[in-house]
């Protein structure tokens, strides 16, 4: 039997509100000692508080995917642009339309963003790009999507008889929809990829060889003069500038790890510190330097926020017993 | 219950990807039969998340949906056991909760594009100032103080306004995410299955 009296029992929605408030506070900055004590006391009050807080954090992580909409995101324009594919949704309530007129302009003024205008048809390629540390989901007119990782740029041409994307630099995850349409072509340097309905990522970084990873479906890869090779799901191809394509299998866990950037995270498993530091350098101009080779070859495991090299350095320092030093050019890790 | 939940980013990410999408399905299931009096679906959901946050390790969970339903079931069973009268029928119905495959139902299989459409719709549905504040926080990642400076609000007011928006999202997502689903808030099916699990906490 529960001894709590009904009159004192907080309602679940009161708890949800308090949980939302703590989640927003903690998301912004660490709590000071006083606030931490309040938070702990609140958590201990009722087991539901702990659950509501965990759920509030999960919802916050979920809505943070809005970041994929890009910094020029304007909610109304996006709602409009994606409306036709969201067939399962109930029709937009009328108030939304009115609200669009009433507050669209003020929201734009307030956030300093520019509305996305989606012309029905365009003869030339459209350019999408992300800056350092940004990621962005680009819905294409044909129902496919491209998610751009940090510092990436694509040119997209979607026409009834042609679907082509040029990956000029960086990394992109393609989810190609609509079998029976024109083949979906991706050009990346010397390589030309072709898919019908597939999910695959392509990584084109300055010095490294091009890498193609297929999650679902299959992708035909033409590279230089060699005949095209078909890469199946759970396979990864590395295309050196000179020499033949190298293929290997990837497990579901490896795929998930490789694509953690979609959530703004970097995931490592027994990754040498030097390599992890190189990954972080793609996301920020605060580079992590490692004092000596012995430290550089230590390995790290875990999930880290891609845009927070300091946080990563501090966590690693704690685990490997290193010192973190903030320098003008970045962060130094040393014994 | 003792112990503190795991509130790491990794756990929040796991909950958002593997549990949150199944919440509307669990709520639909909960609404089909009566949970003990004094306890509602929201209580069950909160206690279920509490248990999930207290797990040491979630890596081994191969079927998160089934696991989510199973934990919810154990929460209800615990409350049923505490209530004085337990009908056979109640226990039988609760047993059905354990049966949940991990195949996403039609309502859970949303494309990225639909998911983003849903997010944009949710953000677009917020009142003007909340919406500007939420966009600046989520998309531009400004601090509460910086948002306040842009919008002419105190940092404290920004924090309150963001918290309010988040609790709106929490309500909407639990119920399937679309704005219109607010109407289905309370289990309409509650009355078709009279049960005699009723005396609890009343004295």
CB B52 within 8 A of CB B19: yes
Give the helix/strand (H/E) hosting B66. helix B64-82
Burial class of residue A117 (count of CB atoms within 10 Å of its CB; 0-12, 13-18, 19+): exposed
* ipTM associated with this complex: 0.78
Cβ pair B15:A1 closer than 8 A:
no
Nearest CA in chain B to A93: B180
Task: Using a CB–CB cutoff of 8 Å, tell me whether A99 touches chain B.
Answer: yes
**A54, A85, A113 member nearest B113 (Cβ):** A85
**B51, B117, B160 member nearest A86 (Cβ):** B117
- Tally DSSP H helices, then E strands, for chain B: 9, 0
Confidence (pLDDT) at A221: 94
Task: Using a CB–CB cutoff of 8 Å, tell me whether B85 touches chain A.
Answer: no
Query: Domain check: are B13 and B60 in the same one?
Result: yes
Q: Which chain A residues touch B1 with a CB distance below 8 Å?
A: 47
Q: Which residue in A316, A305, A309 sits closest to A61, CA to CA?
A: A305
CATH number (2.60.120.1440, 1.10.1040.10, 3.40.50.300, 1.10.240.10) of A121-253 reads 2.60.120.1440
Q: Which residue in A22, A33, A30, A32 sits closest to A57, CA to CA?
A: A22
Task: Using a CB–CB cutoff of 8 Å, tell me whether A41 touches chain B.
Answer: no
Domain A264-334 has CATH 3.55.50.30: yes
Task: Using a CB–CB cutoff of 8 Å, tell me whether A35 touches chain B.
Answer: no
Residue A332 dihedral angles phi and psi, to the nearest 5°? -110, 130
Q: Is A9 left (phi over 0), alpha (psi -120 to 50) or beta?
A: beta
CB A48 within 8 A of CB B46: yes
Q: Is B102 left (phi over 0), alpha (psi -120 to 50) or beta?
A: alpha
pLDDT bracket for residue A60 (50, 70, 90): very high
Rounded mean pLDDT of chain A?
81
**A4, A78, A110 member nearest B120 (Cβ):** A78
Chain A from 100 to 139: CB within 8 A of any B CB = 100, 103, 106-107, 110-113, 137, 139
Residue B93 has pLDDT above 80, yes or no: no
Print the domain residue range for B15. 9-107
Cβ pair B20:A58 closer than 8 A:
yes
Q: How far apart are CA A144 and CA A197, in angstroms?
A: 9
Residue B29 has pLDDT above 50, yes or no: yes
Top-ranked range on mean pLDDT: pick from A59-63, A304-308, B102-106? A59-63
Q: Which chain B residues touch A158 with a CB distance below 8 Å?
A: none
Cβ pair B116:A23 closer than 8 A:
no
pLDDT in tens, B121-151: 888 888 888 988 998 898 888 999 999 999 9
Query: Domain check: are B71 and B139 in the same one?
Result: no
Comparing A68 with A65, the larger pLDDT belongs to A65
Q: Write down the domain spans for chain A.
A: 11-66, 70-118, 121-253, 264-334
Confidence (pLDDT) at B96: 56
Question: How many residues are listed for chain A in this entry?
Answer: 335
Domain contains B15: yes
Three-state SS for A287?
strand
Q: How far apart are CA A222 and CA A40, in angstroms?
A: 58
pLDDT in tens, B3-21: 778 888 889 988 998 899 8
């Amino acid at each position: 039997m529960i001894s709590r009296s009904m009159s004192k029992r907080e309602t679940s929605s009161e708890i949800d509100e308090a949980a939302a408030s703590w989640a927003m506070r903690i998301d912004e900055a660490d709590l000071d000692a006083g606030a931490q004590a309040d938070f702990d006391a609140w958590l201990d009050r009722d087991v539901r508080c702990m659950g509501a807080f965990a759920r509030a954090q999960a919802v916050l992580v979920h809505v943070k995917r809005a970041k994929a909409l890009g910094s020029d995101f304007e909610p109304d324009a996006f709602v409009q642009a994606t409306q036709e594919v969201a067939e399962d949704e109930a029709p937009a309530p009328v108030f939304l339309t009115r609200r669009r007129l009433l507050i669209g302009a003020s929201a734009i003024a307030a956030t300093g963003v520019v509305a996305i205008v989606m012309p029905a048809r365009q003869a030339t390629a459209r350019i999408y790009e992300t800056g350092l540390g940004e990621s962005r989901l680009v819905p294409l007119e044909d129902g496919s999507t491209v998610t751009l990782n940090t510092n990436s740029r694509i040119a997209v041409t979607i026409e009834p008889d042609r679907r082509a994307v040029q990956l000029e630099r960086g990394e992109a995850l393609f989810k190609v929809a609509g079998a029976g349409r024109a083949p979906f072509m991706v050009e990346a340097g010397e390589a030309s990829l072709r898919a019908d309905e597939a999910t695959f990522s392509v990584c084109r970084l300055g010095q490294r060889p091009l890498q193609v990873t297929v999650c679902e479906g299959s992708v035909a890869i033409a590279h230089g003069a060699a005949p095209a090779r078909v890469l199946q799901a759970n396979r990864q191809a590395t295309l050196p500038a000179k020499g033949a394509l190298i293929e290997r299998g990837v497990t579901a866990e490896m795929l998930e790890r490789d694509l953690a950037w979609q959530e703004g995270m970097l995931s490592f498993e027994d990754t040498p510190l030097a390599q992890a530091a190189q990954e972080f350098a793609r996301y920020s101009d605060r580079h992590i330097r490692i004092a000596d080779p012995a430290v550089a070859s230590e390995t790290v495991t875990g999930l880290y926020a891609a845009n927070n090299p300091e946080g990563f350095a501090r966590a690693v320092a704690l685990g490997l017993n290193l010192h973190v030093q903030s320098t003008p050019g970045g962060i130094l890790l040393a014994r | 219950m003792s112990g503190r939940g795991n509130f790491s980013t990794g756990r929040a990410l796991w909950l958002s990807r593997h549990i949150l999408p199944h919440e509307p399905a669990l709520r639909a299931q909960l609404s089909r039969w009566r949970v003990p009096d004094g306890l509602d679906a929201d209580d069950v959901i909160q206690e279920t998340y509490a248990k999930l946050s207290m797990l040491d390790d979630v890596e081994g969970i191969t079927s998160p949906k089934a696991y989510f339903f199973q934990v919810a079931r154990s929460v209800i069973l615990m409350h049923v056991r505490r209530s004085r009268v337990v009908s056979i029928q109640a226990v039988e119905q609760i047993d059905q909760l354990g049966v949940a495959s991990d195949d996403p139902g039609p309502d859970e299989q949303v494309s990225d594009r639909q998911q983003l459409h849903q997010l944009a719709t949710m953000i677009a549905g917020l009142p003007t100032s909340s919406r500007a504040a939420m966009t600046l926080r989520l998309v531009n990642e400004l601090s509460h103080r910086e948002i306040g400076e842009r919008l002419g609000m105190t940092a404290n007011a920004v924090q309150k306004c963001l918290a309010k928006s988040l609790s709106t999202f929490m309500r909407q997502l639990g119920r399937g995410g679309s704005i219109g689903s607010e109407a289905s808030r309370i289990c309409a099916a509650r009355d078709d299955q009279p049960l005699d699990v009723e005396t609890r906490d009343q004295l």
